[in-house]
Structure 1
Amino acid sequence: MGDLPEFLDRYQLERPRSDRPLGFAAALADHHVPGISIALLEHGQVTQTWTMGRRSVTSDAPVEPDTLFQAASISKSIAAACVLRLVDESVLDLDTDVNDLLKSWQLPANDGWQPHVTLRQLLAHTAGTTVHGLAGYPPGMPVPSVPDILDGRGNSAPVRVTAVPGVRHSYSGGGYTIAQLVLTDVTGLDVDTLAWELVFEPAGMVHSTFAQPLDRARAVRAASAHRAGPAPVAGGWHTYADLAAAGMWSTATDVARFFAAIRDSAAGAPGALLSARSTRAMLTRGAPNRAYGLGVGIAEPGAPAFVGHSGSNEGYRSWAGIHLDDGSGAAIMTNGDHGYQLITDVLLPALRREYGWPAAAGAPTPAVAASDLAGRYVSRDDEFVVAETDAGLTLTVPGQPPVPLTAGTDGGWRARVLNVDVRFPIRDGDRVLVLHQELVPDADVEATRVTG
Structure 2
Amino acid sequence: MGDMPRFLDRYQLERPRSDHPLGFAAALADHHVPGISLALLEHGEVTQTWTMGRRSVTSDAPVEPDTLFQAGSISKSIAAACVLRLADEGVLDLDTDVNELLKSWQVPANDGWQPHVTLRQLLAHTAGTTVHGLIGYPPGMPVPSVPDLLDGHGNSAPVRVTALPGVRHGYSGGGYTIAQLALTDVTGLDFDTLAWELVFEPAGMVHSTFAQPLDRARAANAAAGHRPGPAPVAGGWHTYPDMAAAGLWSTASDLARFFAAIRASVAGAPGALLSEQSARAMLARGAPNVPYGLGVTIAEPGEPAFVGNSGTDEGYRSWAGIHLADGSGAAVMANGDYGYELITDVLLPALRREYGWPAAPAAPTPAVAAGDLAGRYASGDDEFLVAETDAGLTLTVPGQPSVPLTAGTDGGWRARVLNVDVRFADRDGDRVLVLHQELVPHADVEATRVTG
Tell whether the 8 Å contact from 1:370 to 1:392 is kept in structure 2 after alignment: no
Aligned ranges 1:3-402 → 2 under 5 Å = 3-360=3-360, 363-365=362-364, 368-371=366-369, 374-376=373-375, 377-386=377-386, 391-402=391-402
Q: What is the CA-CA distance between 1:28 and the residue it aligns to?
A: 0.9
Rounded to whole Å, the distance in 1 between the matches of 2:407 and 2:318 is 32
Rounded to whole Å, the distance in 2 between the matches of 1:428 and 1:137 is 55
Q: What is the CA-CA distance between 1:206 and the residue it aligns to?
A: 1.1
Change (3 A) 1:14 1:92: same
Q: What is the CA-CA distance between 1:98 and the residue it aligns to?
A: 0.1
User: What secondary structure does 1:311 align onto?
Assistant: strand
Rounded to whole Å, the distance in 1 between the matches of 2:238 and 2:84 is 28
Name structure 2 gaps, 5 residues minimum. none
User: What secondary structure does 1:10 align onto?
Assistant: coil
Identity %: 86
Q: What is the CA-CA distance between 1:431 and the residue it aligns to?
A: 5.6
Q: 1:369 is matched by which residue type in structure 2?
A: A
User: What secondary structure does 1:72 align onto?
Assistant: coil
Name structure 1 gaps, 5 residues minimum. none
Q: 1:105 is matched by which residue type in structure 2?
A: W
Q: 1:118 is matched by which residue type in structure 2?
A: T
Q: What is the CA-CA distance between 1:348 and the residue it aligns to?
A: 2.2
Q: 1:166 is matched by which residue type in structure 2?
A: G
Q: What is the CA-CA distance between 1:450 and the residue it aligns to?
A: 5.6
Task: Tell me the number of residue pairs that the alignment of Structure 1 and Structure 2 aligns.
Answer: 450
User: What secondary structure does 2:271 align onto?
Assistant: coil
Change (3 A) 1:303 1:391: farther
Tell whether the 8 Å contact from 2:84 to 2:278 is kept in structure 1 after alignment: yes
Tell whether the 8 Å contact from 1:384 to 1:397 is kept in structure 2 after alignment: yes
What residue number does 1:440 align with? 440
Rounded to whole Å, the distance in 2 between the matches of 1:432 and 1:133 is 39
Q: What is the CA-CA distance between 1:44 and the residue it aligns to?
A: 2.0
Tell whether the 8 Å contact from 2:225 to 2:316 is kept in structure 1 after alignment: yes
**Cα deviation code 1:95-144 (max 9, x no counterpart):** 00000111111111001000000001000001000111101111121211
Change (3 A) 1:349 1:268: same
Tell whether the 8 Å contact from 1:364 to 1:425 is kept in structure 2 after alignment: no
**Cα deviation code 1:245-284 (max 9, x no counterpart):** 0000000111111111111222222222211211121111
Q: What is the CA-CA distance between 1:8 and the residue it aligns to?
A: 1.6
Report which stretch shifted further, 109-118 or 258-267: 258-267
Report which stretch shifted further, 55-64 or 406-415: 406-415
Q: What is the CA-CA distance between 1:18 and the residue it aligns to?
A: 1.6
Q: 1:331 is matched by which residue type in structure 2?
A: A
Q: 2:299 is matched by which residue type in structure 1?
A: A
Tell whether the 8 Å contact from 1:11 to 1:350 is kept in structure 2 after alignment: no
Rounded to whole Å, the distance in 2 between the matches of 1:270 and 1:384 is 57
TM-score relative to the length of structure 1: 0.94
Tell whether the 8 Å contact from 1:345 to 1:441 is kept in structure 2 after alignment: no
Report which stretch shifted further, 22-31 or 372-381: 372-381
Rounded to whole Å, the distance in 2 between the matches of 1:334 and 1:208 is 16
Rounded to whole Å, the distance in 2 between the matches of 1:66 and 1:200 is 15
Rounded to whole Å, the distance in 2 between the matches of 1:400 and 1:260 is 49
Report which stretch shifted further, 104-113 or 397-406: 397-406
Q: What is the CA-CA distance between 1:428 and the residue it aligns to?
A: 7.2
Q: 1:112 is matched by which residue type in structure 2?
A: G
User: What secondary structure does 2:9 align onto?
Assistant: helix
Change (3 A) 1:208 1:103: same
CA RMSD of aligned residues (A): 2.1
**Cα deviation code 1:138-180 (max 9, x no counterpart):** 1121211111111111111111001111111110000000000
Rounded to whole Å, the distance in 2 between the matches of 1:72 and 1:288 is 25
Tell whether the 8 Å contact from 2:367 to 2:411 is kept in structure 1 after alignment: no
